[in-house]
Structure 1
Amino acid sequence: MHASSAAPALPLSGKTALVTGVSRRRGIGFAVATTLAGLGANVVIHHHRPHDLDLPWGGDDLDAVRDGIRSHLVGDASFADIAGDLSVATAAADLVDEAAAVTGALDILVCNHAKSGDDGSILDMTPQRLDAFWDVNTRATLLLTAAFAARFADIPSVPRRPGDRISGSKPYDAPRGHVVWMTSGQIHGPMVGEVAYATSKAALAGVTGTVAAELLELGIILNTVNPGPVNTGYLDPDTTDRSLNDFDDWLATTAFGRVGRPQDPAELIGWLCSPAGSWLVGQVLTSDGGFSLVG
């Protein structure tokens, strides 16, 4: 390989990333934050620990979470953490403003946050339950993305109409920003007993192409990741929120004999946010070790 074609050792050096939903060392968000830090980025994390405390796996030590991410920072890269309840309508825009203030810029947004638990079948749906999942998983993701994109756009002189395109300053030599959304396994099969969660995540998968096309006018790249089954504690016998009967026997029949680890999707997200992944745009990517192919 010629030296000129080698990938930079720190492809995110000088970039600032906001990763939402980072409150547990077992979580995907923590793995994403440490991965981006290891690639040279300044890292700002968001967390809402009260959500964890209501779930079987409970909350983590936030000081240990902070220390874990700091230990992966490179050189003089910055770190900050911000608490916030994304079910509050104004929280998304405030979070983006606070994150950008850390270094004066914001280049990467990873919407990893999610409401989990307190779900049910179609017979269990109520307006309140559906709204609770929608507000956090879908509305907040869209509003975070809107606030992030607004930093790259001019304010229109007149309101846009349906069908109007966002106006940018193409062409771009390189992406100006990266956004990653998280969806779930509902794109490959039923998620029985998780109707509200699956609905909120399916909306993100379904609108990825639409939003990606608009962001591309501003030089921002959006992709959505389905991490497949990743054990963040919910598949541990002592902290699970579901039946694990025969799970180990079934798992042994799969290709790798294991579920995902948080680092598995984190590595993909790190690549997507780097120059190497910048030609991939508007895709819903499944990173599940082939689980979606198992009959």
Structure 2
Amino acid sequence: MADLGRDPFPLRGRVALVTGASRVAGIGYATARRLHAYGADLLLHHHSPHDAAQPWGAQPMAEVLAGVRAAGQGRVEEISGDLVAPDAPARIVDAAIERFGRLDILICNHARSGGDGTLQEMTAARLDEHYAVNTRSTLLLTQRFAHHFQADRGGRVVYLTSGQQLGPMRGEVAYAAAKGALAAITATVSDELAGSGITVNAVNPGPVDTGWATPDLDEFVAQSFPAGRWGRPDDPARLIAWLATDEAEWITGQVLNSEGGFRRG
């Protein structure tokens, strides 16, 4: 039997890229703190103009960096980039290699929000905008990550999806289609990269309180959880960080639901 002793720094010596880590209330931030506490050096990607256009607004990256750095030791750096640009994924991954000399972990937490609608309201432009960020950029990030990865094991890719396969997302046709595609492609990408020592999984965090819900929606949704509360960013972050460790090397091609027993309907 393998040694069951727990290394408090299971990601020491490894480098992670976390996309969409731009707010201290977000899942990307909570995940970055977990990875850094486990010993990983980090490159945090952000695109502040997207946040600035949302109700929650943009947050200074200095605050995000300070919070992540406080969780561990080692390097934490940031890079900006609009993932709607076809060349942005390669540029961001290449920057991680240039700065840190390696890249072991890719967490695709970014998402385009807003500008959505019902099927009757949908346009080609809306669909293309969501696809470009939520689907295309994720696959291109994975492609570039795999291109650079040199080890025979230990590569980790985690996608963030939203449970579209479990129930409807009324009024969010473009987002549901683009994010749902990640759940659908996980098994295929994981199969292609298995021989390269890279695991690929997707995590559905379920409804998480990242500051976007109105008070009425917050109370309504909380009643659908057995615990009587929404998910918190650190709830899925614990699962994502574990998937990055060696303990999860036998888990690949899976869509994992971290929903706290959320009841639909």
> What TM bracket, shorter-length normalisation?
over 0.9
Q: Does 2:77 align with 1:80?
A: yes
Specify whether residues 185 and 278 from structure 1 end up closer, same or farther in structure 2 by C-alpha distance, changes over 3 A only. same
Give distance in 1, aligned partners of 2:225 and 2:138.
Answer: 33
Report if aligned partners of 1:27, 1:262 keep a CA contact under 8 Å in 2.
Answer: yes
- Report the counterpart of residue 3 of structure 2 in structure 1: 4
Match of 2:127 among 125, 130, 135: 130
Give SS of 1:191's match.
coil
Following superposition, the deviation at residue 118 of structure 1 comes to 1.3
Specify whether residues 88 and 3 from structure 1 end up closer, same or farther in structure 2 by C-alpha distance, changes over 3 A only. closer
Q: Does 2:151 align with 1:146?
A: no
Moved over 6 A (4+): none
Give the TM-score taking structure 2 as reference length.
0.96
Larger of the two Rg values belongs to structure: 1
Give SS of 1:82's match.
strand
Give distance in 2, aligned partners of 1:266 and 1:97.
Answer: 25
Q: Deviations over 1:219-267 (max 9, x none)?
A: 1000000000001111144xxxxxx36x525523531001100000000
Give distance in 1, aligned partners of 2:225 and 2:250.
Answer: 32
Report the aligned-residue RMSD. 1.7
- Report the counterpart of residue 37 of structure 2 in structure 1: 38
Match of 1:270 among 241, 248, 251: 241
Q: How many residue pairs align between the two structures?
A: 265
What pairs up with 1:1-295 in 2 under 5 angstroms? 4-74=3-73, 77-152=74-149, 175-237=153-215, 244=216, 248-249=219-220, 251-252=222-223, 254-291=225-262, 293-295=263-265
Unaligned runs of 5+ in 1: 154-168, 238-243
What amino acid does structure 2 have at the position aligned with 1:265?
A: P
Give distance in 1, aligned partners of 2:190 and 2:8.
Answer: 28
Mean Cα displacement is larger for which, 247-256 or 64-73?
Answer: 247-256
Unaligned runs of 5+ in 2: none
Following superposition, the deviation at residue 109 of structure 1 comes to 0.2
Give distance in 2, aligned partners of 1:254 and 1:69.
Answer: 29
What amino acid does structure 1 have at the position aligned with 2:52?
A: L
Give SS of 2:17's match.
strand
Q: Percent identity?
A: 49
